[in-house]
Structure 1
Amino acid sequence: MKYVKLPKCKLEQDELLFPPSESGNWRETICDKEGAQKIHKSQKMGVGISVFLGIKATVLFLIFVSLQNLDFTLLSLPFLFTSGEEPYNEICEGVYVGGWPFSVDKLPPGNPAIIDCTCEFPRKEEFKGHPYLCVPTWDTRAPQPGEIESAVRWACRKRAQNRPIFIHCAYGHGRSVAVASALLVALGVVEDWKKAEQFIRERRPCISMNSVHHNALEEWSKHRLSIPKRNEVMNESSAVPSTASGRPLSKQM
């Protein structure tokens, strides 16, 4: 998978940083060529709609589109508050999987780095001090293999710095489990993603990956770049993957 640099965006290796908003917030994410084309098309469509309909009609149109995207979010919130399951579980030392952290007390201890596998929930203002990576994925869908690889590399670098990792989606059942499964393989905790899924299920019984997640992990397994040795999780030379040229990826906060 090839990654492209979008206009006015800072691209470092395969991690794409969208420019800060007026409030100064950065939302770190991963975007492939197809995603870049979609963004470009949506920008062109937005300009065309503004010219054709006028400002007021455009605002109404954008509200309508936003409400469509909010449907799942609104349906998810009652479950998050009333499900009764743990907001997160520690899968192995320093690696946590859970649902969307709607408050500070829903974050694991130790000032964790956050991998956000949702695109329907906002980034909480209270979490600005945490290293943050967004892998935007809709519910029941899976990150692309290249996105999984990028998230795994990022997480390995944070673990090499002895920082906990919190991987979350809406409920901590599917999208986040897919990324966590790949991370367990990369860290040498288990041999393959199938064993990783079972390993996670023993610690978080509510997980429910589907065939889309399984296919993405199987494809990732065929093309993953780094194969660290077992029991060398905290050894930076094995935990920090390198590029195809053998040069270590630069660290990023």
Structure 2
Amino acid sequence: MKYAIAFGVMSLVLAASSMLYPGVRWLLFWSALSFGMVALGYAGIGPRVFGKGRDGRISLPLKLLNLPYLTYTWAIWHLCRLLSREASFNQIDDDLVIGRRLLASEAPEGFDHYVDLTAEFEEPRPIRARPGYCCLPILDAGVPSLAELRGAVEQAAAGRAFVHCAQGHGRTGLFALALLLHHKRVETIEEGIGLLQNLRPAVKLNRIQVEFAHRYLGSSSPHNLSN
């Protein structure tokens, strides 16, 4: 909810500014509308506010509507990419590599699945055209539904997978943890997070993601799957 409040306040500030600066009124109003839409996404509408399809593309109408916010988040991503000393990706085991969103020229070969967890970025065309590309749009710091995660994990579990979100920390950590649990590489949430942080130290799940991981683990137990 804090993201909904933050983006909602930013939207109101931009809307108020549009009345004070007539020379850029429409640009500020457009930006206010864009950040307001994102606030609604975090308030409950979910990742569909960005209109990203399973093919990794964002619908043109929503791309235009959200362009001020997308420009902001794209700029932040490129700054992090250029300034960060963190590796773009890290190998967890023979079948799992996790990392940030990659440029087309950075994407490694030899994977059966490319799991894209971003809702706010369109995947580079050469990557989304690869066999095994899978898109599960999740809001930054958010979670999918249990059914969505379970379906994507079962798909990615059959082979070698590259998993990414924007920076390869929260959403990526959640999905990678689910994969490790699925393969019985770890037995507990804490063990899984520890393994991921040991190999990619910046991985961090927030409280909502940790609670969701516990629900996922419980729902995936043999007893619950049989009911």
Shorter-chain TM-score: which interval?
0.5 to 0.7
Q: Report the RMSD for the aligned CA atoms in angstroms.
A: 2.8
Secondary structure at the residue paired with 2:123? coil
Pairwise mapping of residues 66-81 of structure 1 onto structure 2 (< 5 A)? 66-81=67-82
Measured in 1, the distance between the counterparts of 2:206 and 2:64 equals: 32
* CA distance 1:116–1:62, change in 2 (3 Å): closer
Q: Gaps spanning 5+ residues in structure 1: where?
A: 1-33, 43-58, 228-242, 246-253
User: Partner of 1:205 in structure 2?
Assistant: 201
User: Partner of 1:7 in structure 2?
Assistant: none
Pairwise mapping of residues 116-131 of structure 1 onto structure 2 (< 5 A)? 116-127=116-127, 128-131=129-132
Measured in 2, the distance between the counterparts of 1:102 and 1:179 equals: 21
Secondary structure at the residue paired with 1:136? strand
**Paired residues, what number?**
171
Q: TM-score, normalised by structure 1?
A: 0.60
* CA distance 1:62–1:187, change in 2 (3 Å): closer
Measured in 2, the distance between the counterparts of 1:62 and 1:122 equals: 10
Percent identity between the two aligned chains: 22
Pairwise mapping of residues 54-203 of structure 1 onto structure 2 (< 5 A)? 63-105=64-106, 107-127=107-127, 128-157=129-158, 159=159, 164-203=160-199
Matched, 1:220 2:216: yes
Amino acid paired to 2:115? I
Secondary structure at the residue paired with 1:167? strand
Aligned partners of 1:88 and 1:108 also within 8 Å: no
Amino acid paired to 1:83? S
Measured in 2, the distance between the counterparts of 1:115 and 1:225 equals: 24
Q: TM-score, normalised by structure 2?
A: 0.67
Moved over 4 A (4+): none
Amino acid paired to 2:80? F
Q: Gaps spanning 5+ residues in structure 2: where?
A: 1-43, 52-60
